[in-house]
Structures are given as structure tokens and as C-alpha cells.
């Protein structure tokens, strides 16, 4: 499942998806809260932004280890990410 949400890191509307298990654990540690099932991640290759699906300002950036690249990419994030 994906939702189109505004990504302040990439700029404009982007596809977001629910966090996977490893991302959920990282967000729990970072935010210090036990329940993060309402947080989603920007699905643009290279973007580390996560945020609540209903509140854009409630979010942050995942650790660098979670950065993924586009197929055949050089690991550089898109402009703004």
C-alpha cells in the first residue's frame, strides 16, 4: 500500500509506504515511543524521510544505513533528499 504525501525532504508530493520491521525499530529508538505503525517512509530512492501519514511535521530522517539506491544508481540521493 502506498500513499501520496508531501515530502519536505524531496519537495512536492511523493509516494510513501509503511515502514518495514527494521525501519520501525530504528524509528522507535530515535523517537523513544513504543508505537510507530502510523509512520510511513518516502519511497524515493535515496530519501531517508519518515513521517506520520496524517501529520507531516511529525517525522525525521532514518539513519544513513537505511539509504537505498535506484537500480543501477550510484548511491547518490535525488536533489533535495
Note the Cα 15 to chain centre separation in Å. Answer: 10
CA within 13 Å, CB half, 25: 3
Q: Write the pLDDT tens digit of every residue in 41-76.
A: 999 999 999 999 888 888 999 999 999 876 544 444
Tell me the C-alpha distance between 6 and 66, whole Å.
20
Tell me the C-alpha distance between 60 and 71, whole Å.
25
pTM above 0.75, yes or no: yes
Amino acid at each position: 500500500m502506498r500513499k501520496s504525501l508531501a515530502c519536505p525532504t524531496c519537495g512536492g508530493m511523493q509516494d510513501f509506504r509503511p515502514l518495514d520491521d527494521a525501519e520501525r525499530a530504528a524509528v522507535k529508538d530515535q523517537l523513544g515511543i513504543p508505537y510507530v505503525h502510523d509512520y510511513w517512509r518516502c519511497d524515493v530512492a535515496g530519501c531517508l524521510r519518515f513521517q506520520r501519514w496524517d501529520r507531516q511535521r511529525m517525522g525525521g530522517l532514518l539513519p544513513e544505513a537505511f539509504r537505498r539506491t535506484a537500480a543501477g544508481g550510484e548511491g547518490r540521493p535525488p536533489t533535495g533528499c
